[in-house]
Chain A
Amino acid sequence: MRIPVHTAALAVLLGMVASQGLAQGFKPTRPIEVVVHTGPGGGSDVLARAIAIMIEKEKLLPVRMQVVNKTGGNAAVAAAYLAEKAGDPHTIGFFTGVWLTTPLISAESRITLRDLTPVARLVLEPAVIAVKADAPFRTLAEFIDAAKKNPGKMKQSGGSNTSRDNVVRQLLQKSAGVRWAYISFPGGGERIAALLGGHVDMMVIEPEEAGEHIRAGTMRVLAQVSESRLPNFPNVPTLKEAGFDVPVVPQVRGVVAPPGIPKQNVEFWEDLFLRLTRTASWRKYIADNQFEDGYQNAAELLKFYDQFTDRMRDILKDAGVKTVR
Chain B
Amino acid sequence: MEEETRKAGDLWSGVVLLALGAYIVFEASRWEYLGADGPGAGFFPTWYGIAMVGLAILLIASHVRQRPSVEKRIAWPRVGRALAVWLALAASVALAKPLGFLLSFALLTFFIVAAMYRRPVKVAASVALAGAAGIYLAFPLALGVSLPVGVFGF
Which A positions have Cβ atoms within 8 angstroms of B?
A: 181-182, 320
Contacts and interface: CB of A to CB of B under 8 A. Distances in A.
Please provide the 5 A-B residue pairs with the shortest distance between their CB atoms, ordered closest to farther.
Answer: A182-B37, A181-B37, A320-B36, A320-B35, A181-B38
Nearest to A161: B37
5 contacts: A181-B37, A181-B38, A182-B37, A320-B35, A320-B36
Contact size class for B?
under 10
A251 B19 CA distance: 44
Main secondary structure, interface of A, reads: strand
Contacts of A320: 35-36
A320 B35 CA distance: 10
Contacts of B36: 320
Contacts of B38: 181
A181 B36 CA distance: 9
Interface in B24-39: 35-38
Nearest to B146: A68
Interface centre among B36, B37, B38 (most CB of A within 10 A): B37
A312 to B, nearest CB: 19
Nearest to A68: B146
Nearest to B32: A320
Contacts of A181: 37-38
Contacts of A182: 37
Interface in B1-58: 35-38
Nearest to B35: A320
Contacts of B35: 320
Contacts of B37: 181-182
A181 B38 CA distance: 9
